[in-house]
Amino acid sequence: MTEYRNPYRRKAEPVLTQPQMEAIARAMGELIVKHVKPLRDRVATLEKTLEHAQADAEAALEKQADEFTLDDLSAMAKRAKESRHAK
């Protein structure tokens, strides 16, 4: 079975012109720089915070639970808070 083709149908023109496509690409690049880069930096900060938390957790496992003092716990909380706010 052959497909019917209209011989009078014009070839489809591109919906966007080259300058329009370039403007869109430029805008997308600006959005990436504006939004994605800060998110990537934030992820790096969170990874560092996680590393500090893991180090504290490993130190806590090595210590006996009854050896913890309130000063130890406050120091861990303070370090976690500082690493969260450090950028």
pLDDT band at 85 (very low <50, low <70, confident <90, very high): confident
In-domain check, residue 63: yes
Compute the distance between CA of residue 45 and CA of residue 53 in angstroms, rounded to an integer: 12
Query: Is 51 among the domain residues?
Result: yes
DSSP the chain: -PPP--TTPPPPPPSS-HHHHHHHHHHHHHHIIIIIHHHHHHHHHHHHHHHHHHHHHHHHHHS-GGG--HHHHHHHHHHHHHHHH--
Tens digit of pLDDT for each residue in 2-59? 677 777 777 776 688 889 999 999 999 999 889 888 999 999 999 999 999 998 888 8
On whether residue 43 sits in a domain, the answer given is yes
Condensed to tens digits (0 to 9), the pLDDT of residues 71-82 reads 888 888 888 888
52 within some domain: yes
Q: Tell me what pLDDT residue 1 has.
A: 55
Q: Is 1 contained in some domain?
A: no
Is the residue at 26 inside a domain? yes
76 and 55 Cβ atoms separated by less than 8 Å: no
Range of the domain at 72: 20-85
Q: Assess if residue 29 is contained within a domain.
A: yes
Residue 87 has pLDDT above 60, yes or no: no
Domain count, the chain: 1
